[in-house]
Chain A
């Protein structure tokens, strides 16, 4: 009996994966075009990184330990997002909501740290109006932060959705797309961390 249920469920899963594969590929194509957006912002940053116009450079402005904490927070949230997908695949509603909750909190910590960093810079007079370097810095990191904000809203909506409707095939598909989005933001952050912060510190 148990084996029959397993076979039935597995067959259902294969069918749904075939059907969902197209949708998820479409979402993947969107993510790749988003990559091009980030690439243009990276190009602008790379061109303007030394144009400080007498203002502070990256080396004097950024605190590396602070950014490392931000990075770990986002990285861990990417991991817990994976755990949420795993729970959803097993059909475990409670665990899915729990892990998405943890992901949301870690993402929120990241966002708050980023915003308070921005706030500190602006208060010191080093806003986006100060120099070409700072304009491109705020645009690049701010665009990533905007994506994180949208991701957080999506995670919150997903939690409510799973709580109310449970985990069906459609929900699983959406959860997989959400996880792609969140992991993708983590991938973009690797390059922001390296190019903006670490390379910036080396320029001293």
Chain B
């Protein structure tokens, strides 16, 4: 492999036969995109640029966008030959994660609404226990 001097030509040759292979252009797009998205999310939070509920939505959207950017440009998901097994396995994972996180939050918030509110005595008792 060392025999090939022109590395640009080599990259093109490799990528033609293996669509999953890395390319410098892809990495640069992914890197700059991620930096920009992180900075926007950070500045929005730092300056409380909008109402809280709006910000929650915006930050979630920015995180998901960055997730997509890194999946495509860093992890090369969906670029492989079909059947796109990487993409299929990942879709299954996303379904499991949604059920797990969404379900836990749903159940626990429901439970939270049903338990007895803690009284002042209970809080004082718990604070008195040194080993808590």
Is A39 on the interface with B (CB-CB < 8 A)?
yes
Most A CB atoms within 10 A — which of B1, B17, B22, B45? B1
Query: Which residues of A, 34-53, contact B by the 8 Å Cβ criterion?
Result: 35-36, 39-40, 42-44, 46-47, 53
CA distance A35 to B90 in the complex (A): 10
- Choose one: A187, A198, A201; the contact of B67 (CB below 8 Å): A187
Binds B, one of A8-16, A110-118, A155-163: A8-16
Q: Is the CB of A39 within 8 A of B96?
A: yes
- Choose one: A5, A32, A54; the contact of B4 (CB below 8 Å): A5
- Choose one: A75, A91, A201; the contact of B38 (CB below 8 Å): A75
Give the Cβ gap from A106 to chain B, nearest Cβ, in Å.
12
CA distance A51 to B103 in the complex (A): 19
Is A60 on the interface with B (CB-CB < 8 A)?
no
Q: Which residues of B contact A14 (CB under 8 A)?
A: 17-18
Is A144 on the interface with B (CB-CB < 8 A)?
no
CA distance A195 to B45 in the complex (A): 12
Q: Is the CB of B74 within 8 A of A183?
A: yes
Give the Cβ gap from B4 to chain A, nearest Cβ, in Å.
6
CA distance A71 to B59 in the complex (A): 15
Give the Cβ gap from A85 to chain B, nearest Cβ, in Å.
5
Query: Which residues of B, 78-108, contact A by the 8 Å Cβ criterion?
Result: 80, 85-86, 89-90, 92-93, 96-97, 100-101, 104-105, 108
